[in-house]
A and B are shown apart, each in its own frame.
Chain A
Amino acid sequence: MKIAVLTKAIPSYESSIRIDASSKWIDESVVNYVVNESDSYALEEALQIKEKLDNDSEVVVITMGSQDNTSKILKDGLAKGADRAIFIHNEDSNTDPLSIAKLFSENLKDENFDLVFSGLQSDDLGSGQTGVLLGELLGMSTATLGIETDVQDDRIKVKRELESGWFQWVTLPFPASVSIQSGINEPRYPSLKGIMGAKRKESKVIEGELSDTPKQNFINLFIPKTEKATEKIEGDVDSIVAKLIDILKNKLRVIS
């Protein structure tokens, strides 16, 4: 079985996010890129399926974007156990989910993957569409927010997370594209052997060209306005704690 895992480099939580001079994107020079959190769970799920099947299954880790931001995350995927990597090189500052999905589909259709796994959404743009769009473009069945999977011969059972503690099992025949919810498993760390071995694995670079006009465009990024009159409390620990006690006792009266 051939499993694709879509993975994306996104700014780390600690990164400073500044709007650049174009006002359409962020200043990438001050950003530290890491793998999108739910994508790590997607990769782990794929690796566990491969290990469980114990046959000649293959896990291919795939990303798109600029060389600088993404090179680390493919190495990381290979070190964790993916068999090969595909890097779709594209420097366009394109934010349209559909044209991004088309770029994936045009460059991956000949791979004939049985399964495509992706994280449920990226923590940068957060559209949460790529896996489903790609599934449709490749004629696959799709499911989202998978919190448990069970591969059976020519199909995959997926436990979908619904809202407010509800769930549903769906069964998809192959080929299928499934987006993975974080928390589904415990992503592994790369072993030293894995890191050494990664260097010998195939890592293919494809020059990806956008084939048509994006269907939606960023006009400008902006800093959201504060919705409330927020009182800032800062300083040394003692004064912060004194202030908090005053608020809890006298303003909110939640303690006596």
Chain B
Amino acid sequence: MILVVLENQRGNIHAFSKEAVSAGQKLASKLGMDLSVLCMGENASSLKEQAADFKVQNLILAQNEMINSYSADGYSKVLSDIINEYEPKYVIMGHSYMVRDFLPRVSAKLDLPFISDIISVTYDNDNPIFARQVFNAKLATNIQPEQGSNTALLSFQSAAFSSDDIELGGNESSLTFDVNLDVGDIKSTSEPEFQESSSGVDLTTADVIVSIGRGIESEDNIPMAEELATVMGAEIASSRPVVDMGWLPSYRQVGSSGQAVSPNLYFSVGISGAIQHVVGMKGSKNIIAINKDEEAPIFEIADYAVIGDLMEIVPKLTEELKK
């Protein structure tokens, strides 16, 4: 059996989970295995309704008031029990922040491999091989779980599979897993999720974005990039290091912890292209990237790869555009 676990994102199936369903369907069909989808926690019934059309063998519901608010303690315990009960060959989830928070706990509890942030699957006969990015996406690696592993835990990077490919057709059966938790199982307490007020800058609607990264080197060089954005009629944005340094406010950040954008043009300046950034901008229609490192991973997704010194190119470009 292959088990896909749906993540609840404030009442809806998380976008990464839909991609996980798509991945699960493909893997199950290739390996001739059954596919089950697990809905757990507060909105499990609602998730189950949203998943009703997915073509799967089983829908499994796991509810208990002690997992009505997410905790790594509760979720890892319940999923571990479910894995012990059904013994799936693969457990699949999207590589979300929640998965990073609790799935390693399951790995350690059950002594199972957790291959995280997978970008693609290939097959050696009927043995799946999972690829993930390493060394800041400069390289990738093929990984296999140890031969003797009964179960492998997998998380897929966003967009590794497309939710458009989900096969519909409904499920054959649905069942309820009897959740067994003691008060002592959950040691942590969680408060409600909240959003911090942003300044109202909505990068998602921008037509052109000039985005700066670590290569800008100093806060003193920010105005230089801002001037380019102004002459191009663009919004200014950045990768995480620039926000961490306090050079731009956090609402300007693009990436997994910031905004996900898909402008007509993403003009990237001094950004290396770490995975966490790329997931937030790879949907851009056109990407121009300036970087002095010819091997910068951003060039893999760029339409135009400008290999050169941004300190020279940006002011000169601004000056020419003003003419």
Contact = CB atoms under 8 A, between A and B. Distances in A.
Interface of A: 11, 13-14, 16-17, 19, 26, 37, 95-98, 101, 120, 123-129, 132-133, 135-137, 141-145, 160-173, 181-183, 213-235, 237-238, 240-242, 244-245, 247-248, 252, 254-255
B321 A163 contact: no
A173 B264 CA distance: 48
B1 interface: no
A252 B265 CA distance: 8
Interface of B: 71-73, 76, 96-98, 100-102, 104-105, 107-109, 111-117, 129, 132-146, 148-149, 152, 187-196, 198, 207-208, 214, 232-233, 240-241, 243-244, 250-251, 256-260, 264-265, 272, 274-275, 286, 288, 293, 295, 297, 299-309, 312-313, 316-317, 320-321
Given A142-B105, A231-B303, 17 more contacts: A17-B139, A126-B134, A128-B117, A136-B109, A144-B97, A163-B256, A167-B195, A169-B190, A170-B191, A214-B146, A218-B143, A221-B134, A221-B139, A228-B301, A237-B312, A254-B208, A255-B232
Q: Which interface residue of B97, B111, B250, B297 has the most chain A CB atoms within 10 A?
A: B97
29 contacts: A98-B112, A123-B135, A125-B134, A127-B117, A128-B117, A133-B108, A135-B105, A136-B105, A144-B101, A145-B257, A160-B97, A165-B258, A166-B194, A168-B194, A183-B240, A183-B243, A215-B113, A216-B143, A224-B140, A226-B300, A230-B302, A230-B304, A232-B307, A234-B307, A234-B308, A240-B306, A241-B313, A252-B264, A254-B232
B104 A97 contact: yes
Contact of B244 (A19, A129, A182, A223): A182
Given A96-B113, A168-B193, A247-B304, A145 B97 contact: yes
B104 A133 contact: yes
A233 B307 contact: yes
Tell me if A's interface is mostly helix, strand, loop or mixed.
Answer: mixed
Pairs of residues from A and B, 6 with the lowest C-beta to C-beta distance, nearest first: A183-B244, A215-B113, A136-B108, A132-B104, A216-B113, A129-B104
A79 B266 CA distance: 42
Contact of A167 (B193, B207, B295): B193
A237 B304 CA distance: 15
Contacts of B193: 162, 166-168
Given A183-B240, A183-B244, A218-B143, A162 B97 contact: yes
Contacts of B256: 163
A142 B72 CA distance: 7
Given A13-B214, A168-B190, A234 B306 contact: yes
Contacts of B141: 95, 218-222
A167 B135 contact: no
A126 B321 contact: no
Contacts of B136: 13, 123-124, 126
Contact of A136 (B104, B304, B308, B313): B104
Contacts of B317: 241, 244-245
A240 B308 contact: yes
Considering residues A26, A96, A254, which has the most beta carbons from chain B within 10 angstroms of its beta carbon? A254
Given A161-B97, A233-B305, A222 B140 contact: yes
Contacts of A141: 72-73, 187-188
Nearest to A105: B108
A129 B198 contact: no
A213 B149 CA distance: 11
B138 A255 contact: no
A222 B129 CA distance: 13
Given A144-B97, A172-B188, A126 B117 contact: yes
B303 A230 contact: yes
Please indicate which of the listed interface residues A95, A133, A141, A162 has the most CB atoms of chain B within 10 Å of its own CB. Answer: A162
Contacts of B143: 216-219
Contact of A126 (B133, B214, B251, B312): B133
A175 B27 CA distance: 39
Contacts of B108: 98, 101, 132-133, 136-137
Contacts of A183: 240, 243-244
Contact of B144 (A168, A216, A245): A216
Given A230-B302, A230-B305, A143 B72 contact: yes
A48 to B, nearest CB: 16
A245 B214 CA distance: 24
A133 B98 CA distance: 15
Contacts of B274: 123
A182 B242 CA distance: 11
Contacts of A255: 232-233, 321
Nearest to B10: A166
B306 A233 contact: yes
B107 A98 contact: yes
A215 B148 CA distance: 9
B146 A167 contact: no
A138 B102 CA distance: 15
Contacts of A132: 72, 100-102, 104-105, 108
